[in-house]
Amino acid sequence: MLLIVPTSSLWSLTVVHQTLHERHRPPPGKRHAESPTRLVAARKALTAAPFAGRIVWTRALDSERTPQDAVAALKLVHTVEHLRAVQGLSQSGGGGFDMDTYCAPGSWEAMLDGTRAWLHATALAAEARGPAVALSRPAGHHATASVAMGFGLVNFAAAATAALLTARPEARVSILDWDVHYGNGVADLLREEPRALYCSLHEFGGFPGGGEEEQQRGPRGNLLRLPLPRGSGREAFLSALRDKALPFLLARPPDVLLVCAGYDGLLADPLATMELSPADYGEAVRAVLDEHGFPAERVAIGLEGGYALDLEEGMPAALVETCGALIARGRRGGGETDTGSGTGLGLGDSVRECERTRDSAAS
């Protein structure tokens, strides 16, 4: 039986996307895993998803967060010298911070735009107006206070967390980092911040090294590093998540669960050896929402790594699984019944594009 459900009773997912990301691109003629095609593929997958009608697209440029807000947030976690270095290299024609980490003409504007995306998504979740996704690149979780590394020029997750805690000193943030690489930058930047809990699930021995001492929780007891054996698959990942990560992060429910959502743990990914499938990330979300009862509206997702761009097996597919699980949980949480298709189709949905054509850059 088809049950007509008013659209207003259905939960939506806000995707705040970094429209200036294409300004951050590899040097002409150079191939690099971290390229604008990543977000093109992610966006294509989300707009084709069965739940596309529930997505509210918002440009970071159009968010309430200004470039000045982004700079202020970045200053909370980075040295002024580092930010000047990124801005200076970007505005003087670009170059490389290391063999992997390039900076293009226009990267500075792209970084401010990405920071705004994370600030906005995190703020929505803090106000219980999520779930929200910051669709940004490159991954920022390796960047430290003064060092660009691991493709990342600035640390979006740490900046968004620090900005929220500055605006709302009573708030608590838990960060779940399921990128296949240890988020050394986030851990380092928040190691003295007891209002933020950070847990990383990552491949043992992978870039950038470290993150191997599960028993060492940092000087404030707010860090949990969970290395997984190389080649780990669904069982090891979900067991560590259920048995260790989520009890640590959600024992005292935070105001925001911020997910550093890297998808380079996929079997299809070229940069690591883990063997996850896209569906495993949906299962991870369900563990958060169903098994711990954490509210979907307080979840913010930020894209980190993920370099397999296949729409069936790569990062875009895993992002769709993540978002689909968030939306499905929200719908049940709303106490409504749908058609049972699980897709949200047939309800008069249409993609709600909030894209205004304002093309003024962050000048």
**Distance separating alpha carbons of residues 98 and 290, to the nearest angstrom:** 42
Q: What mask of x and - would describe binding to Zn ion in positions 261 to 290, judged by CB under 5 A?
A: -x-x--------------------------
**Distance separating alpha carbons of residues 172 and 253, to the nearest angstrom:** 8
Name the one residue in this structure whose structure tokens are 């600035």. 154
Closer to Zn ion at the Cβ: 245 or 250?
245
- Within positions 159 to 188, which residues make up the interface with Zn ion, using CB under 5 A? 179, 181
Closer to Zn ion at the Cβ: 73 or 180?
180
Closer to Zn ion at the Cβ: 203 or 338?
203
Q: Least distance to Zn ion from the beta carbon of 70, Å? A: 23
- Whose CA is closest to 276, among 225, 203, 210, 213? 203
- Has 142 been annotated as catalytic? yes
Q: Which stretch binds Zn ion (CB under 5 A): 22-30, 208-216, 298-306, 348-356?
A: 298-306
Closer to Zn ion at the Cβ: 264 or 275?
264
User: Helix crossing, 80-91 with 67-77: angle to 10°?
Assistant: 130
Biggest CA-to-CA distance, the chain: 63
Q: Which residues pair with 152 in a beta bridge?
A: 149
Angle (CA) 287 289 292, round 5°: 75
Closest residue to Zn ion: CB criterion = 305
Which of these is catalytic: 141, 142, 181, 202? 142
Q: Which stretch binds Zn ion (CB under 5 A): 198-206, 210-218, 233-241, 297-305?
A: 297-305
Residue 305 within binding range of Zn ion, rule CB under 5 A: yes
Peptide bond between residue 28 and the one before it cis (omega within 30 degrees of 0): no
CB count in 10 Å sphere of residue 47? 13
Residues known to be catalytic = 142
Footprint on this chain of Zn ion (rule: CB under 5 A): 179, 181, 262, 264, 305
